Structure 1
Amino acid sequence: MLMIQSSVIFTLTFHKHFVIYEVRGGNYMESLISTAESQNPQTSDSPYSANDTQSQYTLQIKLRSSVVEEFFDVPRMKIHRWEEAGKIQAGHEEHGSRKIRYFDAENVRKMVDLLGRKQNVDGTYTYAIWHNKGGVGKSTVVFQLATMMSTLMGLKVLVIDTDGQADTTHLFNAEQEVPLDTDDFIDQRSICDILYDLMDPHNHTEESLKESFEDTKKTILPGLDLIPSDDRVVELDYDIRELKGKGIITEEKGDESFDLSSVALLKKFISFVQETYDYDVILIDCSPDLGDMNVNVLFAADCLLIPVELEPKAPHSLKRVYNRLIKLAKMHESFSFEKLLIVPNMNERHDVKAVVQTRIRDMLPNFSSRITLTKTTTVVKAIGQRLPIFNYQDPNAKWMAKIPEPAKRLTNELWDLCHEMLNLEEPKPDHHGLFKPKGITNAQ
């Protein structure tokens, strides 16, 4: 037990309450617990009631009319005709003395259909976004890819967050507000609940799987759903390891039966989703480790995307990742990927980074993406506002200002990466669906 003998000032910020406590000797932890209890009244009108925490998880995307015209290269009059015909509907916001027109995600998707730009994807692509190193931008990449694929490409996307830090869940504004001194997650289910359900073979029926999925899924945007995560993933990782040899999931090969209980639990769920729902893409955000939960993710995914920050030790980290994949492939014959992409992320034009990128491409030439995602402070600002990069606008800019050039550049890079991931036709510089670099026109 921690004892504080001298005077301590403890500052607690909690749901808009700012409280300062002074503890002189005595039991510090008891003071902390009593403080938490005083801030968590068990009443029906508590600010942490289920009704409040389940209120609104949907992201708000508002693309200005001028941005839509530029990105899709569509004349303003055509958009007006669609509005007059009731095919789309613009929203309006006051900006000083002017009224700004914008389109939300649902209406942007309608325009994608009207323009015949919805991408045709063959089957369901299931991507794990994984690296054993933290801070390489996995969650940010998942957030940007998912919002772009669903809104600008018209695809149906499912994101599954399996990271105990739940950064992706936070970015999609779907995290659960939990009071101090409680493990109560109220009514919010997560990927943990789905996998705990699957640990009971009685829950492997189609009806049980569907109920588990529907009770956990959250609709973030039109065409974009999320299975959230929470910090119970740490406990789940241990519980998955304990399943080894229990025969919950087996694979028959000839006369032999192989127990896959500890590696194929998530694959059981993903296979059900692929067969039952019409998702074009499933993106799985992973924690930065080599634990049993991530082994389940790697078994469930058809494809693997590895974001890499171009720092001097990046090639060494990639060797560890590659060796881990080789080890899993040798242990289990069914372990394989249709596509593996190593994507340099947060790149800057710097001699050292160029050398590192060359080393990676020389080391793993067959798996290196042709796309490099640029580092820009704009994406940090956009993420801070929970906005896709294509929806970011400098709040200090004039009302008529469009998306900043760094945001356009990264949008183009992400757009190209989407095409590479989904084996779509490679976009051309004047391809519909790009912010054209300055100087490029349709005539060129």
Structure 2
Amino acid sequence: MGKIIAIANQKGGVGKTTTAINLGSSLAFAEAKVLLVDMDPQGNASSGIGFETKGEYASVYDVLIGNADIEEAIVPSKVDNLDLLPSHINLTAAEVELVTALSRETRLKKHLEKIKDKYKVILIDCPPSLGLLTVNALTAADSVLIPLQCEYYAMEGLGQLLNTIRLIRESLNEDLALEGILLTMYDPRNNLSKEVMTQIEEFFSESMFRTIVPRNVRLSEAPSFGMSIIEYDIKSKGAASYIDLAKEILPRL
């Protein structure tokens, strides 16, 4: 039975998609069978691993509204052991289209249950909001991984996200766990990065991953080539950090 991990933070630019792509690739590199679910209408996780997001194709949108079976929509990536359930810009409309639908919060959960046994882990890249798409992801997930950037206002919104997780536990998914908080964009030369790390350690020491993802040019470059950092530059500090993160998560799967 595959473990489902939602990668969520309603703030944009914190490293959600970077983490989804590179953690997925690192786990696949370690021969775990991985499915990456792109729940962000921008489709950056899809394009970031080399999927062509133009033209006609079945996407997570079609699955959610009942126009396609999930097995039809899943495609292999260029990375061995890594499959993709791609996003589409139409996903923007899904929240409106599903607002009156029965069991709208459990649509994704119902579909993932059909294919869960085929994967060691399913990673869901959530959109930068706490709307219906993220609620679907959290309802389907076994746990939540929260990327948190080492920058000003890093703590802003974390309380709101943790409150949303609490509400999901109370009403839709009582077993939802916190997989961990991942510090991203860390710059050891920057005093602010150190202050943010100290602050997070003070309040969330038990929930923090040991791995800290550095600010790394190669990490930023890789998606523009449709590659994970493992493919683009496995010797970079960014690749090393996501390989370390995969090593932390593998024993939990």
Establish whether TM, by shorter chain, passes 0.5.
yes
With over 3 angstroms needed to count, the CA separation of the structure-2 counterparts of 1:340 and 1:222, relative to structure 1, is closer
TM-score by length of 2: 0.91
1-structure distance, mates of 2:36, 2:85? 6
The match for 1:389 among 229, 237, 240 is 229
Task: Tell me which amino acid in the other structure corresponds to 1:164.
Answer: P
Give the alignment partner of residue 147 of structure 1, picking from 25, 35, 41. Answer: 25
CA drift of 1:424 comes to 5.7
Kept in 1: contact 2:138–2:168 (CA 8 A): no
The equivalent of 1:67 in structure 2 is none
Q: Is 1:299–1:335's contact at 8 Å kept on the other side of the alignment?
A: no
Amino acid of the structure 1 residue aligned with 2:71: E
C-alpha displacement of 1:369: 1.4
Name the SS of the counterpart of 2:133 in structure 1.
helix
Match of 1:232 in 2: 90
Residue by residue over 1:125-172, the C-alpha shift from the partner in whole angstroms, topping out at 9 and shown as x without a partner, is 21111110011121111111122211x201111111110000011112
Cα shift readout 1:225-266 (whole Å, capped 9, x = no counterpart): 1110111112111222212xx4xxxxxxxxxxxxxx021111
Per the TM alignment, residue 295 of structure 1 is displaced from its structure 2 partner at its CA by: 0.4
Matched-pair contact (CA < 8 Å) for 1:307–1:343: yes
Name the residue aligned to 2:58. Answer: 189
What TM-score does the superposition give when structure 1 sets the normalisation length? 0.53
Tell me, yes or no, if structure 1 residue 347 matches structure 2 residue 186: yes
Amino acid at match of 1:285: D
Secondary structure of 1:189's match?
coil
Supply the distance in 2 between the matched residues of 1:424 and 1:329 (Cα, whole angstroms): 21
- RMSD value over aligned CA atoms? 2.0
Contact 2:51–2:226 under 8 Å retained in 1: no
- Deviation for aligned residue 1:311: 1.4
1:132 is the counterpart of 2:10: yes
| Structure 1 contact 344–357 (Cα < 8 Å) conserved | yes
If asked which structure has higher relative contact order (CA below 8 Å, sep 6+), I would say: 2
Query: How many angstroms apart in 2 are the aligned matches of 1:390 and 1:172?
Result: 11
Conserved? CA contact 2:43–2:88, under 8 Å: yes
Corresponding letter in the other structure for 2:90: R
Q: Is the 8 A contact 2:218 2:238 kept in 1?
A: no
Between the two proteins, the alignment pairs up a number of residues equal to: 251
Choose which of 142, 146, 157 in structure 2 pairs with 1:302: 142
Ranges in structure 2 where 5+ consecutive residues have no aligned partner: none
Deviation at 1:347, TM superposition (A): 0.9
Match of 2:70 in 1: 213
Residue 351 of structure 1 deviates from its aligned partner by 1.4
Q: Are 2:169 and 1:329 aligned?
A: yes
Could you tell which deviates more after superposition, 139-148 or 281-290?
139-148
Q: Look up the SS of the partner of 1:370 in the other structure.
A: strand
Amino acid at match of 1:193: D
Match of 1:265 among 83, 99, 107: 107
Where 2:182 maps in the other structure, the secondary structure is strand
Larger radius of gyration: 1
Report the 3-state secondary structure (helix = DSSP H, G, I; strand = E; otherwise coil) of the residue aligned with 1:365. helix
Cα displacement (A) at 1:216 = 0.9
Aligned residue number for residue 418 of structure 1: 246
Equivalent pair of 1:162/1:191 in contact (CA under 8 Å): yes
Distance 2:22 2:44 in 1: 13
CA separation in 1, counterparts of 2:180 and 2:203? 13
Offset at residue 342 of structure 1 (A): 0.7
Higher helix proportion (structure 1 or 2): 2
- Choose from 107, 122, 125 the match for 1:285: 125
Task: After TM superposition, give the deviation of residue 298 of structure 1 in Å.
Answer: 0.2
Deviation (angstroms), 1:370: 1.5
Are residues 424 and 321 of structure 1, via their aligned partners in 2, closer, same or farther at CA, if it must alter by over 3 Å? closer
Shift of residue 273, structure 1, vs aligned partner: 1.1
Contact 2:33 2:82 in 1 (8 A): yes
Task: Pick from 156, 159, 170 the counterpart of residue 316 of structure 1.
Answer: 156
1:167 counterpart residue number: 44
* Partner SS for 1:290: coil
Q: Contact 1:240–1:293 (CA<8 Å) still a contact in 2? A: no
- Partner letter of residue 391 of structure 1? E
Aligned pairs (5 A) from 1:2-81: none
On the 8 A contact 1:175/1:228 being kept in 2, the answer is: no
